[in-house]
C-alpha cells in the first residue's frame, strides 16, 4: 500500500515537491504569451544576462493569475431551498441588523426545529431523527450575533409566555381544588417550556423529563460551556455533564441518580443549542482535551462568515410588522402541526446513501482522526438539517422529503463541513499549543483549491502516484 507521505528530494539536483507542483501548474494552466522576440545571443554565465521584454498582450488574450484571492472559492450557506417568504425574511433581517446572512439562516433552522419539536421525526433505516442540533455562531462583536438571535427566536419566547399563562391559570385552579378538598388527586399542571438560557443540568433534565424537545439560547456560548460541572459537588462534575450532553445530542436516554431524590430516567431526549462566540475565544472554549476527545465539539455546526458587505444604517432595510407577522405565522403553524413521520422519497434516499457512503470513505481516507470523525458526524447532521429545511419549505405539511430538498440539505451540510475543516479546526489546533504537520492529502487539496487542475493523470505522473490516489485525496474536504 502506498504511503501518502511525500519526501522531498535533497542533494541530488532534483526539484522538491513544490517545484514539481509549480511545473505541473504550468502544464495544466498555461499562460498565453505573445510571439517570441527575435533570438538574442546570451552572454557568458559570468556576465549579466540581457533582459528580454515581452510586448503587452491584447486585453482579450490576457489570462488571470490563478493565485489571486478572488479566484478562491468561499463557503456559502445557501437559502434557495427554503420558501420564498422565508428567503425574503432572512435577507431583510440580515440587512436590517447589518449582520451576515448565515447567522440568520442558522437561527431560522433552530427556531423551526424547536417549534415543531418531536412532532416531526424522520425515519431512515435504522435511525430516527428529530429537527434538533447544536449551532455555534462565530464572529467578532461587530458582526452582530445577538440581534438576529433575539429577532428570529422571538416566536419561541412568545409561545413560552402563552404556555406559562396557561400553566399559571391551571395551577391556580389546581391549588384551589387542593384547598377545598385535601383528598383531591387531580393531575398537577406542567409548564411546557421551550427555551432556556444558562441553566443548571438539573433544570434542563427536569424539562427533558417532560418528554418535550427544548432549546438552549446562550448569547455567549463560552459562559454556557465553562459552567459545565459548576453545580456538581462531585469531583468529575464537568465530565458527567459532558457525558449527558453527548447522550442528549444522540437522543439516547440516561438515568439521574441523586441520594436525596428518586432515580429519574430521561428517555429519548431531544435538545437544540444555539449561541455565539468570538473567534479568539473559540479555541479556548471548544479546544480542550475533554471536549475534543469526547466528541462534544464534533457535535456542533459552526457558522463562521468570512466577509459581509457593510451597509450604512441609513441605507439598510427596515424590519416591518408585516414581515414579523409572516414569520410568526410560519413558526405558528409548526407549533400547531399534527405529529408527522417523515420519509425520504426514493430519489432522496439514493442521494443520501451516496452522500453518506462518500463521507464514510472520506473519513476512512482522512489521516486526522478528528477531521475523520467530523466528516462522519455530518451523516447525522445532514438528516436533521433536512427536517428543518422541510419545515421551512412550501411542503412543510407533507410527509415526504423530496430529492430537491435533499440536494439542498447536502449543499448546506457541505458548507458546515468546509467551515469546520478550513476555519474552525485551525483555531482548535492552535489552542492546544501544537499543530498538525501538512500531509500529502492537505497539500493536494490546497493545490486543488488554488490551481485550475485540468488533468489528474498528468499531476499523478509528475508526483509519482496513481491517478486513483490523487482522486481519492481530492475527495476529502
Q: Which domain holds residue 297?
A: 84-343
Query: Does residue 75 lie within any of the structural domains?
Result: no
Identify the band that residue 78 occupies on the pLDDT scale cut at 50, 70 and 90: very high
One domain, residues 102 and 237: yes
Domain end, chosen from 320, 343, 366, is at 343
Q: Total structural domains in the chain? A: 2
Query: Does residue 253 lie within any of the structural domains?
Result: yes
One domain, residues 283 and 158: yes
Record the pTM.
0.77
One domain, residues 173 and 299: yes
Closest CA relative to residue 92, chosen from 84, 101, 83, 82: 101
Query: Does residue 165 lie within any of the structural domains?
Result: yes
One domain, residues 192 and 322: yes
Rounded Cα distance between 210 and 196, Å, is: 14
The confidence score (pLDDT) of residue 83 equals: 98
Query: Does residue 295 lie within any of the structural domains?
Result: yes
Which of 47-56, 147-156, 182-191, 349-358 comes out lowest in average pLDDT?
47-56
Q: Rounded to 10 degrees, what is the CA torsion of 133, 379, 408, 325? A: -10
One domain, residues 338 and 448: no
One domain, residues 446 and 321: no
**464 neighbors 8 (Cβ within 8 angstroms):** no
Burial of 409 (0-12, 13-18, 19+ CB in 10 A): buried
Whats the size of the chain, residue-wise? Answer: 477
One domain, residues 322 and 448: no
pLDDT reading at 42 higher than 70: no
Query: Does residue 363 lie within any of the structural domains?
Result: no
End-to-end CA distance of the chain: 22
Backbone phi and psi for residue 274, each to the nearest 5 degrees, phi listed first: -145, 140
The cell 423529563 sits on which residue?
Answer: 209
The confidence score (pLDDT) of residue 131 equals: 98
Domain end, chosen from 315, 343, 371, is at 343
One domain, residues 170 and 288: yes
**159 neighbors 112 (Cβ within 8 angstroms):** no
**296 neighbors 240 (Cβ within 8 angstroms):** no
Query: Does residue 433 lie within any of the structural domains?
Result: no
- The DSSP code for 422 is I
Percent of the chain beyond pLDDT 90?
Answer: 62
One domain, residues 449 and 323: no
Query: Does residue 351 lie within any of the structural domains?
Result: no
Which of 133-137, 177-181, 276-280, 464-468 comes out lowest in average pLDDT?
464-468
Closest CA relative to residue 164, chosen from 188, 191, 196: 191
Domain end, chosen from 290, 311, 343, is at 343
Query: Does residue 60 lie within any of the structural domains?
Result: no
Amino acid at each position: 500500500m502506498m504511503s501518502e507521505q511525500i519526501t522531498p528530494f535533497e542533494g541530488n539536483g532534483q526539484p522538491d515537491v513544490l517545484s514539481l507542483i509549480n511545473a505541473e501548474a504550468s502544464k495544466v494552466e498555461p499562460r498565453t504569451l505573445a510571439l517570441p522576440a527575435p533570438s538574442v545571443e546570451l552572454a557568458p554565465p559570468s556576465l549579466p544576462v540581457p533582459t528580454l521584454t515581452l510586448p503587452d498582450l491584447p486585453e482579450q488574450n490576457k489570462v488571470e493569475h490563478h493565485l489571486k484571492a478572488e479566484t478562491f472559492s468561499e463557503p456559502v450557506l445557501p437559502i434557495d431551498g427554503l420558501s420564498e417568504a422565508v428567503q425574503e425574511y432572512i435577507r431583510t433581517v440580515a440587512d436590517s441588523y447589518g449582520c451576515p446572512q448565515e447567522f440568520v439562516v442558522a437561527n431560522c433552522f433552530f427556531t423551526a426545529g424547536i417549534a415543531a419539536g418531536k412532532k416531526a421525526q424522520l425515519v431512515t433505516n435504522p435511525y430516527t431523527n428529530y429537527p434538533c442540533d447544536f449551532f455555534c455562531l462565530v464572529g467578532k462583536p461587530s458582526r452582530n450575533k445577538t440581534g438576529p438571535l433575539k429577532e428570529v427566536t422571538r416566536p419561541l419566547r412568545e409561545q413560552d409566555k402563552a404556555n406559562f399563562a396557561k400553566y399559571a391559570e391551571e395551577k391556580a385552579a389546581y391549588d384551589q381544588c387542593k384547598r377545598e378538598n385535601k383528598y383531591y388527586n387531580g393531575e398537577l399542571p406542567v409548564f411546557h417550556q421551550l427555551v432556556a438560557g444558562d441553566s443548571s443540568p438539573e433544570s434542563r433534565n427536569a424539562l427533558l423529563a417532560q418528554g418535550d424537545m427544548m432549546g438552549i439560547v446562550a448569547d455567549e456560548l463560552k459562559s454556557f460551556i465553562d459552567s459545565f460541572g459548576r453545580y456538581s459537588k462531585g469531583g468529575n462534575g464537568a465530565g458527567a455533564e459532558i457525558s449527558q450532553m453527548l447522550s442528549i445530542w444522540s437522543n439516547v436516554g440516561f438515568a439521574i441518580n441523586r441520594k436525596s431524590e428518586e432515580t429519574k430516567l430521561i428517555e429519548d431526549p431531544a435538545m437544540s443549542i444555539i449561541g455565539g462566540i468570538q473567534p479568539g475565544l473559540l479555541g479556548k472554549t471548544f479546544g480542550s482535551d475533554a471536549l475534543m476527545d469526547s466528541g462534544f465539539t464534533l457535535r456542533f455546526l459552526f457558522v463562521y462568515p468570512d466577509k459581509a458587505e457593510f451597509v450604512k444604517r441609513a441605507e439598510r432595510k427596515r424590519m416591518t410588522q408585516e414581515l414579523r407577522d409572516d414569520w410568526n405565522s410560519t413558526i405558528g403553524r409548526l407549533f400547531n402541526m399534527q405529529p408527522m413521520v417523515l420519509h425520504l422519497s426514493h430519489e432522496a434516499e439514493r442521494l443520501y446513501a451516496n452522500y453518506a457512503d462518500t463521507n464514510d470513505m472520506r473519513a476512512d481516507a482522512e489521516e486526522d482522526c478528528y477531521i475523520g470523525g467530523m466528516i462522519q458526524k455530518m451523516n447525522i447532521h445532514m438528516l436533521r438539517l433536512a427536517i428543518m429545511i422541510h419545515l421551512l419549505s412550501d411542503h412543510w405539511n407533507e410527509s415526504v422529503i423530496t430529492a430537491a430538498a435533499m440536494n439542498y440539505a447536502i449543499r448546506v451540510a457541505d458548507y458546515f463541513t468546509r467551515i469546520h475543516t478550513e476555519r474552525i479546526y485551525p483555531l482548535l489546533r492552535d489552542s492546544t499549543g501544537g499543530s498538525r504537520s501538512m500531509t500529502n492529502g492537505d497539500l493536494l487539496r490546497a493545490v486543488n483549491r488554488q490551481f485550475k487542475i485540468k488533468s489528474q493523470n498528468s499531476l499523478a505522473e509528475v508526483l509519482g502516484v496513481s491517478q486513483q490516489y490523487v482522486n481519492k485525496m481530492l475527495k476529502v474536504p
